[in-house]
Structure formats: C-alpha cells, structure tokens
Amino acid sequence: MASLRQLSALGLRKAIAAGEVSALEAAREYLGAIDELDGQLHCFNQVHRDRALERAGAIDRKRAAGEPLGPLGGLPLAIKDNICTAYGKTTCSSKILADFHSPYDATAVSRLEAAGAVVLGKTNLDEFAMGSSTENSGFAPTRNPWDVSRVPGGSSGGSAAAAAARLCAAALGSDTGGSIRQPASFCGVVGLKPTYGRVSRYGLVAYGSSLDQIGPIARNVGDAALLLSVIAGHDGSDSTSLDRPVPDYLAELDKPLKNLRVGLVSEFHSQSLWPEIRQAVDRCAEAFGAAGAAVTEVSLPHSRIDAGPDGILSSYAVACYYVVAMAEASSNLARYDGVHYGHRTAKPVKDIIELYCRSRAEGFGQEVKRRIMLGTYALSAGYYEAYYLKALKVRRLIKNDFDAAFAKCDVLLGPTTPETAFPLGAKTADPLTMYLSDVYTISANLAGLPGISVPAGLSRENLPIGVQLLSGAFNEPVLLRAARLLEVALGPAPAPPLAGSN
C-alpha cells in the first residue's frame, strides 16, 4: 500500500474499516511526520501523542470485536487551538491563556470523537483568531509548506498548513472573516465555512460572536463533506445553532447538477486582484460552462472594492466587518482580566484596576490590543451611532445584495484572495494591507452564508491559487456538489514540496 499519508481521509477511513491498515499504524505515521516536519512549520501548539495512540488502539480493538467504528473511525485529525478540549490546553495562541485548561470539550470536538476520530493535537493560529497570516500567534508564526519563507494565511494557518503538509488527515478551523478559506487558498487545500448556525459554536472561544463558525479544512471536497456531516446539526448548548435537518453531504456529492446557475461576481474583478488569480477564476467559469452550467455576471454593489486618490483600497464590506468584528471582540475579550480568566501579572499592584491593566498589557499581543481599542472606541458614547449602528445598517445592505444575487444564481464564483501567499513580515508593519487579505471573504460572514475555497492550480512562483464559491444559507449540498464538479474538472490538487519523506 502507498504511504498512509497519501490517502485522502475517505480513502484512509475505507482502509481502516477493511482491516488493510490499523488506526494505530495511521496515528503513528502521522505522529512521525509531525516529528519530522513540525519543527520547520510550527503547525501545532500541542501534540497529544499518548492520548492519540490510546484512542487509536481502542478503535482497533472495536474493529477486532466487530463493533462499528463510526464515520470517522481511526482518522487522525487536528483541532484549531481556539476550540476547547477537556484534555491538554486551549490557548488561542495567546500568552494570556498559555496555561488555560478547558473543563469541557467543544460540541464539534465531542462529535468528532464520538464518530471515531483520533485527535493528534491543537494547531497554531493568530492570537484569538485575529489575523490573516498566523504571524500574530503569541508563540511563533506558522510557515507555509509550499515555501517556508511565506505565511500560510490565517487565522487558521496551523490547521491549513498541517492539512497541506500531510501532518493530519484533515483539521478543524474557525472562520470569522475568511479564516478558513484564506489559509486554505494559500496552502492549496479545501476550506469550508458553513452557514452561520449550521455548526455549534459551543466551546469555540469567541472573537466575533455574530460571525464565527467552525468548519473543516481538508485535501479535497469529499473529505470536507465528510467532516461537515459529523459536526453539523443543532446543539441545545448554543443558542445560535439552528434546528434544521443535516443532509447526507456525501451521498449525492458526485451526482450531476442539472441547470446549475453560476454567478461571476463583477465587483471581485478589481484592480487589487492579481492577474494570475483572475485567470484562474476565468478558467473555473469556463469549466462550469463546459459542464453545462449557465454562467452569468452578477453584482454585489456593497462588496465593491475601490481605490482612493492615495491608492489605498476600500470596501463597504471591509469597513463594516472591521467595525462589527472589533466591537464584538472588545466585548468578548473583556473577561480576560487576570481575575476571571487568564494570565495574572506577578508585579505588585496598588488596586484591582492596575491588576487588570497590567495583566491585559502583559497577556495580549499588539494586534489584539489594537482591535480591542478600536472596538471599544466604536461602542463608546457619541460614536456608537456613527460607527457601530451604521455598520449594522451596511451589513443589512450586504445581505440584501446576496439575496438578489441568489434569486438569479445557485452559487457565486470569485477569487478567495487577491494574491498568493506573501512573505513573512511583508505586511506586519501595515495592518490595513493585512486586513485587505480578506477582502473577498468577509462579506459571506456578514451575511451568514456558506463559502468554500477550492484549489485552482499554481502560480508562476509555484504557489497555490484558490477560488471561492458561495451559496445561499443552508445550501451546502449544492455548494459542495458545485465545488466537487470544479475539483473534478481541474484535477487533483498537488501536494506541497514539504510534505515529508513518506
């Protein structure tokens, strides 16, 4: 048999179920790859070696006894380190939570393990999921397995790089403004952001509560559909989780889509878009047309990207997102004060206010501090109406644009990112240019819609290019089938050069 790490998650699941390979062998091979490669990549904050081997052994014993293994029986997976696990630590890649032990598992983690998954460890991210490059981690940046001098994207950069480098069969990330789709694009894997409310947020450490969603990062569309089928569904512990039936996402994945209508978003072909990525989007539109889909141009007016006289790009969606997200971050992160949660300063203080100030100053990184301050300002007296309330109104307009587009189309096609993976340090001095890395992804979060990034070839520099598909709320079955159609038309995505010696 070929290396276990060359198998897709579906392929490995089949091999384990058939007894061709044991779950313990699979876990050991992936753990060996982590030992070999993670020193260069820093995908993982923690590796739970003993626990993973113990669970893999238990799965093998179940198989030997003739017991059902579950839909993920024996698959070695990774979990983004802002998703709570009752074992190990949940740090959010922040010094303020460097020693935090969650008392419970997130619902998504519980569902994975109930389905037979083997969790290898927790992956690195931008601190509290605030960033687009994983350079804002409080521990160390993650590097892109296609070129270790470049970023993997963010904030789920550790999960995307681990999936691409074959350090796990698939991973969970979280997406607040593109944090699954953008790193998936940069690392040449599939990243799926579900509809808001499709997957429970219980146990996901909150950044922007009206925007955050947990979703899968995998090597292909089928593997992403497999993970979504396990983690999706209503959860009484999460008031934002909607009680709707979960379709069998895998059952009709390869069934042809008749009369598919694909909308090519005109606003996404802006001057910020690299020509190679525009060409990739055009190739994908042609592939849809060749498969019998009707491809038409559609407009999302409030997602338009403009360049001002100073050359700085702007967008209603970007401005709206960063007001809403930072306001929610300001509220959500108020609890990390050295008393209720997190790091407490060891320096002498004269009162509780100084305790709060010192603890937060020592525990939070610069980007988190920036977003807390901007969010607090937007919510403050005299500015709430001018910024936050106005952003909520623009958010409604963005949702209206999508409603109008989906009255004409089943899915929308566009780029995932304006460029390929950039060098480490290239944007850290200019937060605005970093924020614009998510210019094509954030509108879906504002509207609560599902989106998926699919690999669409390599650039001249041998870096992955991703294209994005969006669909209406809870229309993941059509979204996944359209993504699968595109994946088949484009051919298998290649593995990065740094994918181990196995």
Give the catalytic positions in this structure: 80, 155, 179
Q: Do 3 and 30 contact (CB within 8 A), yes or no?
A: no
- Other CB atoms closer than 10 Å to residue 492's CB: what's the count? 11
Mention every residue, 6+ apart, whose C-beta is less than 8 A from residue 6.
Answer: 166, 502
Q: Give the Cα separation of 152 and 270 in Å (integer).
A: 23
Interacting residues of 57 by C-beta distance below 8 A, sequence separation 6+: 23, 24
Instruction: Say what angle helices 316-332 and 366-379 make with each other, to 10 degrees.
Output: 100
* Structure token pair of residue 384: 């709430």
User: In angstroms, how far is CA 370 from the centroid of its own chain?
Assistant: 22
**DSSP characters over 389-456:** IHHHHHHHHHHHHHHHHHTT-SEEEEES-SSSPPBTTSSTT-HHHHHGGGTTTHHHHHHT--EEEEEE
Cβ–Cβ under 8 Å, residues 226 and 10: yes
Q: How far apart are CA 316 and CA 321, in angstroms?
A: 8
Residue written as token pair 């047309």: 289
Tokens of 501: 């010696």
Q: What residue type is 353 in one-letter code?
A: I
Query: What type of residue sits at position 467?
Result: V
Tokens of 479: 């979204």
DSSP-derived pairing of the beta strands 451-458 and 411-415: unpaired
For residue 223 the two structure tokens come to 């593997």
Task: Say how far apart CA 81 and CA 91 lie, in whole Å.
Answer: 6
Evaluate whether 460 touches 167 at the Cβ level (below 8 Å).
no
The whole-angstrom distance between residue 381's C-alpha and the CA centroid of its chain comes to: 34
349-388 per-residue burial string, b: 16 or more CB within 10 A, e: under 16: beeeeebbebbbeebbbebbbebbebbbebbeeeeeeebb
How many Å apart are CA 22 and CA 26, to the nearest integer? 6
The answer to whether the beta carbons of residues 122 and 80 sit under 8 Å apart is yes
The strand pair at 305-307 and 190-193 is best described as unpaired
C-alpha closest to that of 118 among 23, 1, 222, 33: 23
Distance from C-alpha of 152 to C-alpha of 41, rounded to nearest angstrom: 9
Q: Is the peptide bond before 155 cis (omega within 30 degrees of 0)?
A: yes
Q: 119 is written with which tokens?
A: 């969790």
Written as one letter, the residue type at 484 is: R
Determine how β-strand 451-458 pairs with β-strand 464-471.
Answer: antiparallel
